[in-house]
């Protein structure tokens, strides 16, 4: 059985290694053909928008994608360097039939990826992705003459996206000073622009991309430079984006990290206060800290938990009509304004909450009392038996009984490796560490591959 090309977030791999220009071209042709076969282009010339992050490989991959789309009779608008949520927004606002984003998000510079978006800026579902893969390398009737696609630039993409972000705010951010770590990535222009237009004093760092330095010791996976900059400038807060700016993490004025759970709690309470939190429920994953769940329940709000991955959060939001969801890693989806996680949008609305309440980020984040969390990876085990082993199940039940409502246990088989992740939360770090260690030993003894 041939492995699927599409992962949880498009097609991703080493640029010019697994992800070649030939593959990018073929995928684009297949994507255009699948959407055309579904009847979505009937009666008009199809239109696609294409954006990318700052990786140097994005240039040749963009050319390949454009060649594939235009050869399939699709007109193409080049958006240039733009965050993933910006491409999603413009796919909808420009009435495009298809959006393409070239990025490997928080991965290191040598990687890249291709993500396709359907009309309205919506992620393609698994069935359509599988259909695109089936169309790869198939014979087809190529358009000729005047039927091939036209290619043009859309030079106002950043301005339009930033204006959209600012239109979601009700209050000026005047008086707030914020450091923004752009990760040398796709938000190096749009991020500072949107925050400044909203009234904040912005100190951008890592906003001089050269094609090679994206995510290099900066951004949401490396918070120390942000912490130092916030303290150095006496800023009210700092936010760190990743390479394609679909997520962010924060630090308060003392340089203390504010994670995705705390950000989600701040936004949930703000939306609930104005009656904008659909069904008084927020969507999170099973990895969200128990302190977050307690905080939401204490405020009278529900928490719907999903498997790990922003795609599962978004799926639950769409099915049940929820308006806010996110992950501890900083993916936050505000469905009233965006179809995907948006780091700049998240930062803007956290700052708006600070402006509206007059409270510091530290005070707002304090609503969540994070429980110590310990994660142990147990390798070389038969992860398929993790949910079936009676001895392991009994050991987990015993530890959970001891922890009571002051902690929890979560066993997660890895999706890509022969290992099981043991996550434990408890009232103290020592207790969490001890429980995780005992359960890891049971996993090793019961599930060992020999």
Q: Tell me, what's the pLDDT at 42?
A: 55
Q: Which two tokens stand for residue 5?
A: 């090309």
Task: Report all structural domains of the chain as residue ranges with CATH numbers, in order of start.
Answer: 11-155 (3.40.120.10), 160-365 (3.40.120.10), 373-447 (3.30.310.50)
Neighbours of 357 (CB within 10 A): 14
Query: What does R_g of the chain's alpha carbons equal in angstroms?
Result: 23
Q: Tell me, what's the pLDDT at 10?
A: 84
Q: How far apart are CA 75 and CA 89, in angstroms?
A: 18
CA dihedral 332, 251, 206, 267 (to 10 degrees): 20
CA-based nearest residue to 393, from 448, 447, 433, 449: 447
Q: What is the pTM of this model?
A: 0.91
**How confident is the prediction along the chain (450 residues), in pLDDT tens digits per residue?**
456 788 767 889 999 999 999 999 999 999 998 876 554 555 678 999 999 999 999 999 999 999 999 999 999 999 999 999 999 999 999 999 999 999 999 999 999 999 999 999 988 888 888 889 888 888 888 999 999 999 999 999 999 999 999 999 999 999 999 999 999 999 999 999 999 999 999 999 999 999 999 999 999 999 999 999 999 999 999 999 999 999 999 999 999 999 999 999 999 999 999 999 999 999 999 999 999 999 999 999 999 999 888 888 999 999 999 999 999 999 999 999 999 999 999 999 999 999 999 999 999 999 999 999 999 999 989 888 888 899 999 999 999 999 988 899 999 888 667 889 999 999 999 999 999 999 999 999 999 886
Q: Tell me, what's the pLDDT at 44?
A: 73
Strands 47-52 and 98-102: parallel
Q: Which residues are catalytic?
A: 105
Q: Which two tokens stand for residue 44?
A: 């008009």
Angle, vertex CA 23, rays to CA 22 and CA 26, nearest 5: 85
Backbone angles phi, psi at 428, to 5 degrees: -130, 155
Backbone angles phi, psi at 39, to 5 degrees: 85, 10
Q: Tell me, what's the pLDDT at 1?
A: 42
């Amino acid at each position: 059985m041939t492995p699927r090309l599409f992962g949880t977030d498009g097609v991703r791999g080493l640029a010019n290694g697994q992800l070649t220009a030939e593959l990018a071209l073929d995928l684009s042709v297949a994507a255009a053909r699948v959407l055309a076969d579904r009847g979505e282009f009937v009666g008009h010339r199809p239109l696609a928008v294409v954006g990318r992050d700052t990786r140097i490989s994005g240039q040749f991959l963009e050319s390949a994608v454009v060649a594939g789309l235009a050869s399939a009779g699709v007109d193409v608008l080049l958006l240039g360097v733009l965050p993933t949520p910006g491409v999603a927004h413009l796919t909808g606002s420009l009435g495009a039939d298809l959006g393409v984003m070239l990025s490997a998000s928080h991965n290191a510079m040598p990687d890249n990826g291709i993500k396709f978006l359907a009309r309205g800026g919506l992620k393609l579902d698994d069935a359509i992705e599988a259909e695109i893969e089936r169309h790869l390398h198939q014979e087809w009737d190529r358009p000729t003459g005047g039927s091939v696609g036209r290619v043009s630039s859309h030079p106002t993409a950043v301005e339009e996206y930033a204006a959209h972000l600012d239109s979601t705010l009700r209050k000026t951010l005047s008086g707030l000073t914020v450091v923004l770590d752009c990760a040398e990535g796709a938000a190096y222009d749009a991020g500072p622009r949107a925050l400044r237009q909203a009234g904040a004093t912005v100190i951008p760092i890592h906003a001089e991309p050269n094609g090679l330095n994206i995510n290099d010791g900066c951004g949401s996976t490396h918070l120390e430079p942000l912490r130092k900059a916030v303290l150095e400038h006496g800023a009210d807060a700092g936010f760190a984006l990743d390479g394609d700016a679909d997520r962010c993490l924060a630090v308060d004025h003392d340089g203390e990290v504010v994670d995705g759970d705390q950000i989600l709690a701040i936004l949930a309470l703000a939306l609930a206060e104005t009656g904008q939190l659909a069904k008084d429920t927020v969507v999170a994953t099973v990895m969200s800290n128990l302190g977050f769940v307690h905080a939401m329940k204490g405020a009278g709000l529900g928490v719907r938990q999903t498997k790990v991955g922003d795609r599962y959060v978004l799926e639950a939001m769409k099915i049940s009509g929820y308006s806010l969801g996110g992950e501890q890693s900083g993916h936050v989806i505000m469905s009233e304004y965006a179809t995907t996680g948006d780091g700049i949008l998240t930062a803007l609305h956290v700052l708006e909450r600070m402006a509206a309440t007059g409270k510091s980020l530290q005070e707002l984040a304090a609503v969540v009392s994070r429980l110590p969390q310990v994660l142990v990876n147990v390798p070389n085990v038969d992860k398929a038996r993790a949910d079936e082993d009676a001895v392991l199940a009994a050991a987990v039940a015993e530890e959970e009984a001891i922890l009571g409502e002051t902690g929890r246990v979560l066993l997660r088989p890895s999706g890509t490796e022969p290992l099981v992740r043991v996550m434990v939360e408890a009232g103290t770090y020592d207790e969490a560490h001890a429980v995780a260690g005992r359960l890891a030993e049971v996993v090793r003894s019961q599930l060992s591959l020999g």
